[in-house]
Amino acid sequence: MEQNKEDNNVEVSTKTNKNLIKEIGGFIKEILITVVIVFLIISFVVQPTTVDGSSMDPTLKDKDQLLIEKVSQRFSGINRYDIIIFPYSKEEEKYFIKRVIGMPGETVNIVNGEVYIDGILLDEPFELDLIEDYGSNILPAVIPKEHYFVIGDNRNHSKDSRYTDVGFIYEDDILGKGFIRLWPFNSVGFINKF
């Protein structure tokens, strides 16, 4: 009789070990699936970012925390006044956030501190300072196919398409559009693109 008890104990112990291994395996599987989903979301849907500097003031402030979305540009493209994020070609791991002002094929110029597109004063739906620094790019200039002309909202304190080291922004280099401000809490909400 005692041997049967030992056999039963061995059976129970083996079943317990199998259940434990099965639970650990399931837990690891869930963690891996979560990691893959988070990776896919950050790679293809949204990504957090922090504003560094005042070039987009008053729309975006230094240290604002945002979500950029990466989906709409695939379907609706880039539109005038979108706020976009793109890499700065002169410094690895440095990204700029600016507003799209000129579209592919348009002629952009700055006259008397104001932006002209195809010879017509750009009717901007927001009030900004007159441009004092016209930059190093030679204007007027025709924006190449699949490229955009961008300027920071803080026009006199922004390194943007007016400068040759930034230049026109190639469509495929655009990481995403500014979407939602997460911080500071008193400014949480959708970013006004006008």
Contact 151, 115 (CB under 8 A): yes
pTM: 0.73
**pLDDT digit string, tens, across residues 94-124:** 888 999 999 999 999 999 888 999 999 988 8
In the set 13, 43, 76, 98, the catalytic residue is 98
Same-domain status, 18 and 70: no
Number of domains composing the chain: 2
Q: How confident is the model at residue 70 (pLDDT cuts 50, 70, 90)?
A: confident
Same-domain status, 40 and 55: no
| Nearest alpha carbon to residue 149 among 50, 131, 92 | 131
Q: Is 55 a catalytic residue?
A: yes
Confidence at residue 9, expressed as pLDDT on a 0 to 100 scale: 53
Q: What is the mean pLDDT of residues 29-37?
A: 76
Mean pLDDT of the chain: 81
Beta pairing class for 83-87 and 95-102: antiparallel
Same-domain status, 132 and 52: yes
Same-domain status, 95 and 182: yes
Q: Is 161 a catalytic residue?
A: no
Which of 44, 59, 77 is a domain's end point?
A: 44
For position 99, which CATH number holds?
Answer: 2.10.109.10
* Burial profile 64-91: b = 16 or more Cβ within 10 angstroms, e = fewer: bebbbebeebeeeebebebbbbbeeeee
Confidence at residue 1, expressed as pLDDT on a 0 to 100 scale: 47
Q: What is the mean pLDDT of residues 121-131?
A: 82
Same-domain status, 57 and 40: no
Same-domain status, 53 and 18: no
Same-domain status, 4 and 87: no
Confidence at residue 180, expressed as pLDDT on a 0 to 100 scale: 76
Ranked by mean pLDDT, the top range of 10-19, 42-51, 184-193 is 184-193
Same-domain status, 32 and 116: no
Confidence at residue 135, expressed as pLDDT on a 0 to 100 scale: 79
For 146, the domain range is 48-190
In the set 55, 158, 161, 177, the catalytic residue is 55
Q: What is the mean pLDDT of residues 4-30?
A: 67
Same-domain status, 182 and 97: yes
CB atoms within 10 A of CB 113: 14
Same-domain status, 130 and 162: yes
